[in-house]
Amino acid sequence: MTLSDTAQVRGDIDPSLLATFPPNFQWGVATSSYQIEGAAEADGRSLSIWDTFANKPGAVYQGQNGDVAADHYHHMREDVALMAQLGIRSYRFSIAWPRIIPTGVGAVNASGLAFYSQLVDALLEHGIAPMATLYHWDLPQVLQEQGGWLSRNTAFAFADYAEAVVGHLGDRVKHWITINEPFCISYLGHADGKHAPGMRDPQAAIIAAHHVLLGHGLAVPRIRALMPDAQVGITLDFSPIYAADDLPETRQAVTSEDTFRNRWFVEPVYRGTYPETLFAEQHVAPPPIQEGDMALISAPLDFLGVNYYSRQLIGGDPDNSGSTRAIYPVPGSAHTVMGWEVFPQGLNDLLLRLHRDYAPAALYVTENGAAYNDEWDGGDRVSDPERREYLVAHIEAVAHAIDQGAPVQGYFVWSFMDNFEWGEGYSKRFGVVYIDYPTQRRIVKDSGHWYHDLLARAPGSPAR
Ligand code: FCB
């Protein structure tokens, strides 16, 4: 039986929209190191802040951690072969800093690099373009002990680490993402406490954010110096904010939430300044900005990576008290098991807004996807019609954005396979490939078969 034979195509993207995608469009899937690799102690890897955090009682669902995860470290060739079978054209993965420089700064660990070098070779052998993220949240614990992102030194350590990686893989990897989701690193990790390192201090989030951005800014020229033909970008997560009514207090709340949730990072990167009202509205002091920082942070990029899952809806108090509230769940809308509203129009609006307000040279949707309670039949079938519908609607939203002028050059489903969903542990499944964790068996979900089928029909497909 071939992969397509088992596909259950119910609901599909409008064929006329499929033609909108350019032939060289990067159709991909995404993962990250700590979420899939496991092999926590293999080949000289040191602890990351996520190892430490996950082992704190109560931090992660049922005390789960990434020690084994999807054991991708030992299933790498099988996983790449499966990607190839699915017709995936591009793979966004991340590199674990604790495997490359286990002491945070200093000596490079050749066996840690060897794993990624073999991964890249395997991808290229299968005709899959690698897109590498240098930091997807697994900071070496040893650096956390020296202040982590609250220390300016971490930004310099990151640039050294980036240079070490790009020096080894840059001959084969052409697309580099410095940092994944600085908002989550800063806010969830330092103010909200739900992510590593688990701090709860709004001022710390502001400082960490600046050092994360500085790390990005320091790394970019060093990547370019090594590999002048590299395409370099950053991935930001966005959650567009919408007003449920026309009240002045609602409009005010939407603007201020948008500044915090969406403009905090894109403005320094594209305009070289933090949004004017950000710090006062968040009741914090500005971060310690040194001369030259903002110029480094705003150096031109080849692309902006966009992660989009959902939106937020804000409305005024029905009792007219003058206060506002988040409307959740949204009446009449579907929601994923993360509790996130399914709102594809948000992705279309977001891509057009980014194009209009910041004019990035190119846009990639570096993550988009959904968690559902998938059920495996114990054989070779996982039925996940809601995920397929989610992907159809969001890919259509991207097509419309391209049609309306947004320079979107790729789309990556989050995720290739089920994995460790941070604080939610293994309870939330985002993959288009199911992982049976006790046996580490991979089973392509119906959505994965559908994606395969879509890619075979998309412009530029060798199967066309
Ligand atoms: C994003 C993360 C990614 C994944 C998805 C669901 O915030 O970048 O690692 O957990 O959410």
187 CB under 6 A from ligand 1? no
Q: Which two tokens stand for residue 8?
A: 């259950």
Res. 5: pLDDT tops 60: no
Domain residues of the chain, as ranges?
A: 3-457
pLDDT of residue 124: 98
Prediction pTM value: 0.97
Res. 9 pLDDT band, cuts 50 70 90:
very low
CA–CA separation, 160 and 352 (whole Å): 35
pLDDT of residue 2: 33
Residue 292 CA, ligand 1 centroid: distance in Å: 31
Res. 10: pLDDT tops 70: no
Better-scored residue on pLDDT, 69 or 5: 69
Res. 237: pLDDT tops 90: yes
Res. 320 pLDDT band, cuts 50 70 90:
confident
237 CB under 6 A from ligand 1? yes
What would the mean pLDDT of 78-94 be, rounded to a whole number? 98
Percent of all residues in the chain with a pLDDT value above 90, rounded to a whole number: 96
pLDDT tens digits, residue range 170-197? 999 999 999 999 999 999 999 999 999 9
| Record: fold of 3-457 | TIM Barrel (3.20.20)
**Are 73 and 100 contacting, i.e. CB atoms less than 8 angstroms apart?**
no
CA–CA separation, 436 and 438 (whole Å): 6
* Weakest-pLDDT range from 5-9, 113-117, 123-127, 373-377: 5-9
pLDDT of residue 460: 84
Which residue from 112, 88, 212, 115 is spatially nearest to 156, judged by alpha carbons?
Answer: 212
What would the mean pLDDT of 31-60 be, rounded to a whole number? 98
| Probe residue for ligand 1, chosen from 391, 414, 418 as the CB with the greatest number of ligand atoms within 8 Å | 414
Helix axes 264-271, 202-226, angle to 10 degrees: 40
Percent of all residues in the chain with a pLDDT value above 70, rounded to a whole number: 97
Question: Closest Cα to atom 9, ligand 1: which residue?
Answer: 32
138 CB under 6 A from ligand 1? no
pLDDT of residue 229: 96
Cis peptide before 415 (omega within 30 of 0): yes
Res. 3: pLDDT tops 60: no
Residue 2 CA, ligand 1 centroid: distance in Å: 31
What would the mean pLDDT of 248-260 be, rounded to a whole number? 98
Res. 7: pLDDT tops 60: no
Looking at every residue in the chain, the average pLDDT score rounds to 96
CA–CA separation, 287 and 294 (whole Å): 12
What would the mean pLDDT of 344-360 be, rounded to a whole number? 98
421 CB under 6 A from ligand 1? yes
Residue 266 CA, ligand 1 centroid: distance in Å: 18
Q: Which residues contact 168 (CB under 8 A, 6 or more apart)?
A: 113, 116, 117
Question: Closest Cα to atom 5, ligand 1: which residue?
Answer: 414
List phi, psi (to 5°) of 200: -130, 70
Catalytic residues: 181, 367
pLDDT of residue 111: 97
What would the mean pLDDT of 64-74 be, rounded to a whole number? 98
32 CB under 6 A from ligand 1? yes
Question: Closest Cα to atom 4, ligand 1: which residue?
Answer: 421
310 CB under 6 A from ligand 1? no
Res. 386 pLDDT band, cuts 50 70 90:
very high
pLDDT of residue 464: 58
pLDDT of residue 318: 84
